[in-house]
Amino acid sequence: MQRFFQGEFTISNKEGINNLVTEADHASEKAIFEVIKNDYPDHFLLSEETGEIVTDSKYKWIIDPIDGTVNFAHGLPLCCVSIGLEQDGQMIMGAVYNPFVKEFFFAQRGYGATLNDKKITVSQETSVLTSCLVTGFPYSYLDQPNGPLEVFSRLIRAGVPVRRLGSAAIDLCWVAAGRFDGFYEHKLNAWDSAAGYLMVEEAGGRVSDFTGSPYSPYQPHIIATNGKIHDELISVVNNRHATLGSGRQ
């Protein structure tokens, strides 16, 4: 928090343009590692900045010390800490905290999802055309057919509002809380989605890859919705849908 408000951090660039990492990312990761290792020294760790710390434990912590680093580096309070816990390959717990707006999202498999200890549920919207969606763009990608820009153009030309917040973890939590009706993205890493996708499922939503198959955070494509628009959004993303119509954002 102090680094954010006073701008007291160094910024460097990882592979690709504007793929930033700050001193605060490393400090956050170090603090998280220390807490986990103190109580669970034998657990597997996977984190954005360090990568894998491999053990033979059945538990794996999947950590994004700051999701939304570009926002953080530019003084935008749309960023968070995201931590998921996997047991034997199944996500069992997720926690996402945005300290700037004091929102703490938490989910445990089979027990639902909460925002600041109050239960949350997904929206009831039934049509993509009247939905409010959110997406993100990878830092680098081939200008491939049906890629991120084509799908984005297809939706906004039909008048569907599609937002781009810069934090996949927040995007997913806001789907879980019913603020957005759906989220899609072409290229995520495990630490981007591990906690958030469980949040959506435990709030009553549905998460899949672009084919509709069960979601794994170890593959890049994700569609997360309230469940009611899921199949339709899959068709739109894959360009198999009839014309959505026209309207205004």
Single out the residue in 97, 119, 141 at which a domain terminates: 119
Residues 11 and 114 grouped into a single domain:
yes
Is 127 contained in some domain? Answer: no
The answer to whether residue 92 is domain-embedded is yes
- Band the pLDDT of 23: cuts 50, 70, 90: confident
Residue finishing a domain among 61, 95, 119: 119
Mean pLDDT of 159-183: 98
Closest CA to 228 of 178, 188, 158: 178
pLDDT at 144 (0 to 100)? 77
Say whether both 218 and 157 belong to one domain.
yes
Residues 98 and 13 in one domain: yes
Whether 74 shows a pLDDT value over 90: the answer reads no
> What are the beta bridge partners of residue 183?
134, 224
* Residue 78 to residue 54: CA distance in whole angstroms: 31
Q: CA 114 → CA 34, 193, 209, distances in Å?
A: 26, 17, 24
Structure tokens at 161: 């509002």
What CATH number corresponds to the domain at position 72?
3.30.540.10
Per-residue pLDDT reduced to its tens digit, 177-219: 999 999 999 999 999 999 999 999 999 999 999 999 999 999 9
Q: Is 246 a member of any domain?
A: no
The pLDDT value given to residue 25 = 80
Q: Give the single-character DSSP code of 57.
A: -
Q: Do 113 and 35 share a structural domain?
A: yes
Tens-place pLDDT, residues 97-124? 999 999 999 999 999 999 999 999 999 9
One domain, residues 224 and 155:
yes
Residues 94 and 44 in one domain: yes
- The pTM of the full predicted model, rounded to 2 decimals, is 0.90
Q: What is the pLDDT of residue 236?
A: 96
Could you tell me the CA-to-CA distances from 132 to 59, 81, 100, 219 in Å, in that order?
36, 24, 24, 25
Q: Contact at 8 Å (CB) between 195 and 84?
A: yes
The one-letter amino acid at 135: T
Return the pLDDT at 247.
Answer: 43
Which run of H or of E encompasses 84? strand 80-87
Let me know whether 173 and 141 are in one domain: yes
Backbone conformation region of residue 59, classed left if phi is above 0, alpha if psi is from -120 to 50, else beta: beta
Cβ atoms within 10 Å, residue 225: 28
pLDDT at 246: 45
Which one of 119, 147, 162 terminates a domain? 119
Listed range (21-25, 60-64, 84-88, 210-214) with the worst mean pLDDT: 21-25
Q: What local confidence, expressed as pLDDT, does residue 2 receive?
A: 52
User: Do 104 and 158 fall into the same domain?
Assistant: no
CATH of the domain at 150: 3.40.190.80
Contact by Cβ (8 Å): 53, 153: no
**How far is it, in rounded angstroms, from Cα 23 to Cα 21?**
7
Same domain, residue pair 94 and 168: no
Domain that holds residue 196: 133-237
Residue 70 vs residue 235, higher pLDDT: 235
User: Are residue 69 and residue 113 in the same domain, yes or no?
Assistant: yes
Q: 31-69: per-residue pLDDT in tens?
A: 999 999 999 999 999 998 899 999 999 999 999 999 998
Task: Domain count for the chain, please give it.
Answer: 2
